[in-house]
């Protein structure tokens, strides 16, 4: 008895000591995130993409009745994959197929129903959601041609395969936030599938902390001749789509054009991707999408949700939106040989660790504000006071972050425990941008939030009633 008590006591004292010390700073490494990155399988991704290409075409206007060809067969197959993954995790996924009828320039006169196939992994917090999207539909040179060979292996069989693979890997874990895996249709016809899932989220009062949209993520051999299997691009809007003229005026004066919540999700993805995916470089692009282009993330942004677009570092436009053919020795068309599955696995791993980290972390803080300190009788102070409110849940502490106004990444930090305000001595409010991340007891961190309406993960402006004119 005595010796047993002796064995137990030291560890009991140790945990008491930890409790007495209060919340701890986040660890430098989360082994679970390393495991998740390693669990992503190039072979699984290749098998999924091969199956998708095997449906011949996945054009939004293609056959919906056949069991072997067209968008209907492909979407039913994705649903069956989600069902299988759910079976393997004891029913951890709820599968839904939200849809909406759209009319438009690239649609038949009477409109077409666009359906997404969505798996939801329920977390212990019913309100918070992190989303990953890819689009299943494909196209060739003529946008209205629904019945050619339209493999769409990279655009966007790669993104769809990544969404399914993330579901397979992450379904083995339990998270606080709900994780949503959305396979969207109708992207090529007018970004419709993104609108379906974003509108569904809004109608069901989801607090969406991020949509990670993956579109064209599997090719490592650029048309420019560059072979690069170690880099990816993450696009994000600089200022939020829903901003009142008053909020915009405040932001123009105080700064913040680089710090929408979407941009801070992109920064979060860069940090996690470069830490947990070996030999990996994340290029932040300070644009909503490639120049003049669009993707399903824009539908989330339009409704006030943070969202980013992930795309390979060097695209090959001879592979995209092209009839499969050879002209003057150039192979056109989006075929499987244009996808590098080891590269695709890295992009998928970056997504998976980002979703997991965010879903394990608390929500970002609320009501973030900064002020010059001490409140001066002079015209300014030399210290900066930062204040915020805990988002509740399992937020155990907060990580104060700052950077020079011209620096791209939050490179300075101070863990301040469970305080809701902190004064940084001799750090001038004039010279830096400030932000705060919430930290769980296990050390998982939320994305950094920038002060005010500019950076808030919850928009102050109500979203539009209708997504588009139908």
Q: Site residues (CB under 5 A) for Zn ion?
A: 155-156, 215
For residue 77, the minimal CB distance to Zn ion (Å) is: 19
- The DSSP call for residue 320 is S
| DSSP string computed for 84-104 | HHHHHTTS-EEEE--EEEE--
- The DSSP call for residue 338 is G
* Closest CB to Zn ion among residues 334, 449: 334
* Closest CB to Zn ion among residues 237, 315: 315
For residue 302, the minimal CB distance to Zn ion (Å) is: 18
For residue 149, the minimal CB distance to Zn ion (Å) is: 17
Q: How far is CA 359 from CA 87, 123, 363, in A?
A: 22, 8, 9
130 and 197 Cβ atoms separated by less than 8 Å: no
* Closest CB to Zn ion among residues 313, 427: 313
For residue 321, the minimal CB distance to Zn ion (Å) is: 9
Residue 149 CB coordination number (10 Å): 14
* Closest CB to Zn ion among residues 319, 346: 319
For residue 310, the minimal CB distance to Zn ion (Å) is: 11
* Closest CB to Zn ion among residues 215, 315: 215
For residue 364, the minimal CB distance to Zn ion (Å) is: 29
**Could you tell me the strand order of the sheet in which 383-389 lies?**
366-373, 383-389, 421-424
Containing 5, the helix (H) or strand (E) segment is helix 2-20
- From the list 232, 143, 258, the residue with the least C-alpha distance to 190 is 143
* Closest CB to Zn ion among residues 116, 156: 156
* Closest CB to Zn ion among residues 248, 285: 285
Structure tokens at 463: 């979203």
For residue 156, the minimal CB distance to Zn ion (Å) is: 4
**Could you tell me the strand order of the sheet in which 432-440 lies?**
412-415, 395-404, 432-440
Find tokens 């993409």 and name the residue. Answer: 49
Orientation of helix 341-360 relative to helix 31-39, angle to 10°: 150
Distance of CA 301 to the CA centre of its chain: 12
For residue 282, the minimal CB distance to Zn ion (Å) is: 20
| DSSP string computed for 166-225 | HHHHHTTS--SSEEEEEEE--HHHHSHHHHHHHHHHHHTT-EEEEEEEE-S----B-TTS
- From the list 455, 408, 424, 389, the residue with the least C-alpha distance to 255 is 455
* Closest CB to Zn ion among residues 149, 250: 149
For residue 215, the minimal CB distance to Zn ion (Å) is: 4
Measure the CA–CA gap between 112 and 162, rounded to whole angstroms.
27
Collapsing DSSP to helix, strand or coil, 389 comes out as: strand
* Closest CB to Zn ion among residues 273, 295: 295
b/e per residue 285-320 (b: at least 16 CB within 10 A): beebbbeeebbbbbbbbbbbbbbbbbbbbbbbeebb
* Closest CB to Zn ion among residues 125, 215: 215
* Closest CB to Zn ion among residues 116, 215: 215
């Amino acid at each position: 008895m005595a010796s047993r008590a002796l064995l137990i006591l030291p560890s009991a004292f140790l945990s008491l000591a930890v409790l007495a010390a209060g919340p701890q700073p986040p660890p430098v490494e989360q082994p679970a995130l390393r495991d998740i990155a390693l669990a992503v399988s190039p072979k699984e991704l290749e098998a999924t993409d091969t199956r998708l290409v095997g449906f011949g075409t996945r054009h939004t206007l293609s056959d919906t009745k056949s069991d072997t060809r067209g968008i209907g067969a492909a979407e039913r197959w994705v649903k069956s994959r989600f069902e299988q993954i759910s079976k393997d995790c004891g029913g951890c996924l709820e599968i839904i197929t939200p849809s909406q009828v759209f009319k438009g320039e690239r649609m038949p006169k009477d409109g077409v129903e666009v359906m997404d196939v969505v798996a939801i992994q329920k977390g212990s917090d019913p309100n918070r959601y992190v989303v990953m999207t890819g689009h299943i539909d494909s196209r060739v040179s003529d946008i209205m041609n629904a019945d050619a060979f339209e493999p769409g292996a990279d655009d966007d069989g790669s993104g769809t395969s990544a969404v399914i693979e993330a579901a397979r890997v992450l379904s083995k874990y339990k998270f606080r936030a709900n994780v949503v895996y959305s396979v969207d249709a109708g992207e090529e016809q007018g970004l419709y599938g993104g609108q379906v899932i974003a509108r569904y989220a809004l109608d069901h009062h989801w607090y969406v902390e991020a949509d990670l949209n993956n579109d064209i993520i599997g090719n490592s051999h650029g048309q420019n001749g560059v072979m690069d299997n170690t880099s990816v691009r993450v696009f994000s809007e600089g200022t939020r789509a829903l901003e009142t003229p008053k909020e915009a005026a405040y932001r123009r004066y105080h700064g913040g054009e680089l710090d929408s919540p979407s941009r801070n999700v992109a920064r979060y993805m860069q940090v996690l991707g470069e830490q947990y995916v070996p030999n990996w470089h994340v290029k932040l692009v300070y644009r909503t999408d490639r120049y003049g282009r669009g993707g399903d993330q824009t539908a989330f942004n339009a409704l006030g949700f943070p969202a980013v677009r992930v795309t390979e570092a060097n695209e090959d436009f001879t592979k995209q939106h092209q009839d499969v053919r050879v002209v003057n020795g150039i192979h056109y068309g989006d075929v499987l040989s244009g996808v590098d599955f080891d590269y695709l696995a890295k992009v998928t791993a970056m997504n998976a660790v980002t979703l997991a980290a965010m879903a394990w972390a608390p929500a970002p803080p609320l009501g973030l504000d900064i002020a010059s300190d001490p409140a001066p009788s002079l015209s300014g102070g030399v210290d900066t006071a930062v204040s915020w409110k805990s988002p509740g849940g399992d937020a155990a502490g907060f990580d104060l972050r700052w950077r020079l106004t011209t620096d791209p990444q939050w490179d300075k930090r101070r863990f301040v425990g469970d305080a809701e305000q902190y004064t940084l001595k001799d750090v001038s409010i004039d010279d830096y941008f400030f932000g705060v991340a919430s930290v769980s007891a296990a050390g998982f961190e939320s994305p950094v939030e920038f002060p005010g309406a500019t950076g808030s993960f919850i928009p102050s402006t109500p979203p539009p009633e209708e997504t588009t004119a139908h």
